Amino acid sequence: MGLRTEGLSRRFHLQDALRDVTLTLPAGSVMLVVGPNGAGKTTLLRLLATALRPTAGRASVFGHDLERAADRVRQITAFVGTAHGMYEGLTAAENLAFAAAMSGR
């Protein structure tokens, strides 16, 4: 299995940023995450990249639990935000290669 979440939630103070997300995505699949500002898109991606810890629920990437195997998940994934580290003069592949090189991969 590529990606699996069960009841994944993240709360900031008294506000739910993401609530009870359950999904299964087979390896090799593509998922488009869309929604208005504040819908929780970036929070979901940051949780899956282990940049944030969930308030509740669990998730795994290629069978590696985000909580118990965070280092392994970071080795096999990458998260490049839209506002940081993207250089106009580079292609998407070059931006990803740059981000990987900067993270020691």
Confidence check: pLDDT of 55 > 80: yes
Predicted confidence band at 91 (pLDDT cuts at 50, 70, 90)? confident
Domains of the chain, with CATH numbers?
A: 3-77 (3.40.50.300)
Q: What integer best gives the mean pLDDT of the chain?
A: 86
**pLDDT at res. 93:** 86
What span, in angstroms and rounded, lies between the C-alpha atoms of 56 and 105? 30
**pLDDT at res. 102:** 66
Do residues 2 and 8 lie in contact, with contact meaning Cβ atoms separated by under 8 Å? no
| Position with higher pLDDT, 30 vs 84 | 30
**pLDDT at res. 103:** 65
